[in-house]
Copies of this chain bind each other. A is one copy, B any other.
Amino acid sequence: MFQTAELGQKVSKNEFKQRELILRESLLELQRALREDGSFPVMIDFGGVRGGGKGTTTNLLNKWMDASYIETHAYGTPSDEERERPYWWRFWRDLPPRGHIGINLSGRYSRPLLDYVYGNSDLETYLHQLEQIRAFETALADDGALILKFWMHVRAEVQKKRLEALENDPLNRWRVSPEDWTHYEMYDRFIEAAEIAVSRTNTGDAPWEIVEGADYHYRSLRVGELLQDALQRHLRKVHIQRKYLDELHSEAKARDEGHESNGGSVQSLTILDALDLSLKIPKKAYRRQVAQLQARLNQLHMEAAHRNLSVLLVFEGPDAAGKSGALRRIIEALDARWYKVHPFSAPTDEENAHHYLWRFWRCIPRRGRVTLFDRSWYGRVLVERIEGFANDMEWRRSYAEINNFEETLVDHGIVLLKFWIHISKEEQLARFKAREETPYKRWKLTEEDWRNRARWEDYSVAAHRMIQATDKQSAPWVLVEGNDKYHARVKVLDAICQALERATID
């Protein structure tokens, strides 16, 4: 594999200067086209042993193009902030927005590779991590991202010579650390680990390019020209794809007009129809139970925080189902320094410039926190599906993306519960009317609420399918009968307490 980058490729200084000019102009032009198109980000990743030119090439790309639209991230030891969150958090946080270029040094491959090289993880773990990387890249590529990965290769002898030359130069001695020599001694192990990584993650959507890194001129032009070629190709592809997606989408829309699109008309019942909405708790019993549950929740939360367990609570359901009321009863039991509520409505421009999961990744808490999501990533398969903001292929593949996302959270030790608070269509109408008539509640009722109500059956079918696809023991949906608010609040509090009890059992 790496022998293909040990050929002694060289470009003379003169030739370099000539070609650099042409290349630079072309890259600037393409960067402008990328910004104008604005539909996808470019993600560049540099890997390779020390001395392959990762850093200098990154600097050169920043110099060649307009650096205002390039974000460079180098990943060293994770910060406290980062360690307390899943491994993927920092990579999601740093994703470039559409129209921009992100460059990663020692990025997502770095820690799994080093762990394997140092013998801190076995082959099975390493392969599993590479698999997760592949899933991450697929999710972004499916969303349109252009992903390029360069492995900058130099032979061991070249690496040695370069380190020695730096050490012999008083002005550059500081650039060589003892770690560099340790890694040099482990050269073969690095190459073995790199070969595994490259062969397992060299996909059509996120290809690796192995670049001979010994000659500055050659490697710089090679990376630049590969980027140029890939950008050209991607812009063209995206352009043609857009026409085709428009056609596909509008045809599908015409076909589904006024007809639920969940495939087949035989499904008459949804899981929501099976809920017994007559369930009730008398006011007095409610007051007592809530007080008890809140005391229990407070205790359990302290215990969970002590164990560094975070809790993530997701609330979905029809408008006016009582989400806010339930949220409030939870919050009352917690200290404001330890919880955070994130309400979600239509995404902002900044959020829209990223993968749909990006805005939720930003809210993943540090250890020991309680985070409440008032609406969530499930919007993808509810409102976005129904209103056509996500096309057929997008919402259909998002069940897998969401399951993968949630597994990452759960693997990190986060307790994750998802609540669907449900009411009947009649109950919703009654509540809407009550809101209209109560001055201080009127603001809560919007045009959108009425529009959503008109698509009640579509939402039921979408919710049914969502629950079918994403209800897991590790991240269950709790279906809450909400016609009686007291019953709903007690059921929610009780479910949280039970989950925390299970999680804090030794």
Known pairs A240-B248, A248-B237; A264 contacts B7 (CB<8 A): no
Min CB–CB distance A406 → chain B (angstroms): 9
A284 on the interface (CB 8 Å rule)? no
Cα-based distance from A219 to B70 in the complex (angstroms): 54
A287 on the interface (CB 8 Å rule)? no
B residues near A7, Cβ cutoff 8 Å: 269-271, 273-274
Query: Which of A31-39, A170-178, A223-231, A361-369 lies at the interface?
Result: A223-231
A467 on the interface (CB 8 Å rule)? yes
Cα-based distance from A496 to B252 in the complex (angstroms): 56
Chain A binding surface SS class: helix
B264:A229 contact, CB within 8 angstroms: yes
Min CB–CB distance A207 → chain B (angstroms): 7
B residues near A296, Cβ cutoff 8 Å: none
B264:A472 contact, CB within 8 angstroms: no
Q: Which of B124, B399, B467 is the one whose CB lies under 8 Å from A124?
A: B124
- How many residues on A have C-beta within 8 angstroms of the other chain's C-beta atoms? 73
User: Chain B: which residue is nearest A203 at the CB level?
Assistant: B400
User: Chain B: which residue is nearest A9 at the CB level?
Assistant: B269
Query: Which of A325-333, A390-398, A440-448 lies at the interface?
Result: A390-398
Cα-based distance from A467 to B4 in the complex (angstroms): 7
Cα-based distance from A225 to B268 in the complex (angstroms): 13
B residues near A218, Cβ cutoff 8 Å: 266
Known pairs A7-B274, A199-B470, A464-B4; A397 contacts B264 (CB<8 A): no
Min CB–CB distance A3 → chain B (angstroms): 6
Interface 0/1 of A1-13, CB less than 8 Å to B: 1011101110100
Known pairs A233-B392, A400-B204; A264 contacts B210 (CB<8 A): no
A374 on the interface (CB 8 Å rule)? no
B residues near A271, Cβ cutoff 8 Å: 3-4, 7
A263 on the interface (CB 8 Å rule)? yes
A1:B471 contact, CB within 8 angstroms: yes
Known pairs A199-B472, A240-B247, A241-B244; A252 contacts B233 (CB<8 A): yes
B residues near A199, Cβ cutoff 8 Å: 403, 469-470, 472
The 10 closest A-B pairs by CB, nearest first: A225-B264, A204-B397, A244-B244, A229-B263, A4-B468, A221-B266, A204-B396, A1-B471, A203-B400, A7-B269
Interface of A toward B, CB cutoff 8 Å: 1, 3-5, 7-9, 11, 19, 124, 127-128, 131, 192, 195, 198-200, 202-205, 207-210, 218, 221-222, 224-226, 228-230, 233, 236-237, 240-241, 243-244, 247-248, 251-252, 263-271, 273-274, 392-393, 396-400, 403, 464, 467-473
24 contacting pairs across A/B (C-beta < 8 A): A1-B470, A3-B471, A4-B271, A4-B464, A4-B467, A7-B269, A7-B271, A7-B273, A124-B124, A192-B473, A199-B470, A199-B472, A200-B403, A202-B469, A207-B399, A210-B468, A224-B264, A225-B263, A225-B266, A229-B263, A237-B248, A240-B247, A240-B248, A240-B251
Please give 14 more A-B residue pairs, beta carbons under 8 A apart, in addition to A1-B467, A198-B469, A203-B397.
A3-B271, A4-B464, A4-B471, A7-B269, A7-B270, A9-B267, A11-B266, A124-B128, A199-B403, A221-B266, A222-B264, A225-B264, A233-B392, A240-B247
